[in-house]
Amino acid sequence: MTIQTFPGVMGEPVALRAALMLYPARYRRERGDELSAVFADSTAGTSRLATAREVLDLGAYGLRMRTGLTASSVVGQLFALAAPLVAGAVAGLCAAYTVDQVVNPAWVPAWTPPDRIGEVPAFVWFLGQALLPLLLVAAVLAGRRREARYAAFGVAGVGALGVLTAAVQHTPSLWWFLARSGESTPLLLAGLLFAFAPQELMEERPDARGRIAVLAAAAGGALILTAEGFYSSFGLLDRDAAVALLLVPAAALLFAARGRLAPAAIGLAALPMTLGFNVFRTWQSVGGMWRMAPLTVAVVVGLVATGWMLRRAGDGRRTGAGAGGVRSLV
């Protein structure tokens, strides 16, 4: 395959070449020239920003092909069903968190403008988690798919900022890192799930049932945070609740292997909300990492087995994704 140099790609073919390398090798050999030509046509005479957006879209689809998140795969259809729900769930969870911080503020409220440079990341994180999930769910309800995807990347970015800040501030204490990063993992995982779901399977604008499902997911996100005690230390020893919040959503994914995508999508939408903090709660309640190892191994094996079954199901049949989107939930 020969990749031409296009002036719109920063004067060099590096960005385009990197995006194409994300595709599976066989697909790249068979369709690389066609992708290169289409890219040249679509970016001719466009701005650098538009060209960069095309590169990102091209690379993102390559990643989706490598991970099986295409419109024709069961996994892709499952992600498309779960995406509006995870948008609602993360918005509800973050809204509940923000209200709790306002009603029960810390000694120094989180929204206080920073006095030192070291306080800026926490201030940006708080504002981001309060605003970006609301923008995401608003874009979903309005049927603005492109804007929703950008908002999802923003949500993931805020989550990544929180995890990175926890790592920098609390290293080498694993306890403090897990405690602080648990507040950010819902944002990181929810944003990535939505951003990489097949957009072409999502409805242009949800109907009444779809909007009700999104709002119900928002209420579910707030309930999950309530069950977690708003990330407080009082619930750290509630092992049964922590294990239930981990295993119930994970077990729901098994429905997808039988072609029942609706309950599996609900579980997939809940899992980013429950994973981070409840892994920490379980670790804390059982008394250390080694005692938690059997449960960790069981969960990992279960998720790998679920993924294998989903791939087998996808190879054997399609599960009814039409051009208008997957409609099992709405």
Q: Which residue has the tokens 């990749």?
A: 3
Say if CB 66 and CB 311 are below 8 A apart: no
Domain that holds residue 22: 14-54
pLDDT at position 59, please? Answer: 85
Q: What are the 10-residue block averages of pLDDT along the chain, 330 residues in total?
A: 42 73 87 85 82 84 83 89 97 96 78 83 94 97 92 96 89 80 95 92 85 96 93 76 89 86 95 91 73 70 70 54 44
| Contacts of 118 by beta carbon, 8 Å cutoff, 6+ apart | none
**Predicted TM-score (pTM) above 0.85:** no
φ/ψ region of 231 (left if φ > 0, alpha if ψ in -120 to 50, else beta) reads left
Same domain, 267 and 146: yes
Same domain, 127 and 86: yes
Helix (H, G, I), strand (E, B) or coil at 255: helix
Residue 36 lies in a domain: yes
Residue 329 lies in a domain: no
Residue 64 lies in a domain: no
pLDDT at position 107, please? Answer: 64
Same domain, 20 and 96: no
Residue 235 lies in a domain: yes
pLDDT at position 319, please? Answer: 42
Residue 66 lies in a domain: no
Same domain, 204 and 270: yes
Q: Which amino acid is at 262?
A: A
DSSP string computed for 104-165? S--SS-TTSPPSSGGGHHHHHHHHHHHHHHHHHHHHHHHT-HHHHHHHHHHHHHHHHHHHHH
Q: Which amino acid is at 43?
A: T
Same domain, 289 and 186: yes
Same domain, 164 and 26: no
Same domain, 134 and 196: yes
Residue 322 lies in a domain: no
Same domain, 292 and 176: yes
pLDDT at position 114, please? Answer: 82
pLDDT at position 315, please? Answer: 55
Same domain, 83 and 205: yes
Helix/strand/coil (H/E/C) assignment for every residue in 5-51: CCCCCCCCCHHHHHHHHCCCHHHHHHHHHHHHHHHHHHHCCCCHHHH
Same domain, 153 and 43: no
Q: Using CA atoms, how far apart are residues 35 and 41, in angstroms rounded to an integer?
A: 10
CA distances (Å), origin 322, targets 52, 205, 240, 325 = 30, 16, 41, 5
pLDDT at position 159, please? Answer: 97
Q: Which amino acid is at 264?
A: A
Count the neighbouring beta carbons within 10 Å of the beta carbon of residue 310: 21
CA distances (Å), origin 174, targets 106, 179, 238, 242, 284 = 23, 8, 20, 19, 11
Report the number of distinct structural domains present in the chain: 2
Residue 69 lies in a domain: no
Residue 65 lies in a domain: no
Same domain, 39 and 103: no
Same domain, 45 and 112: no
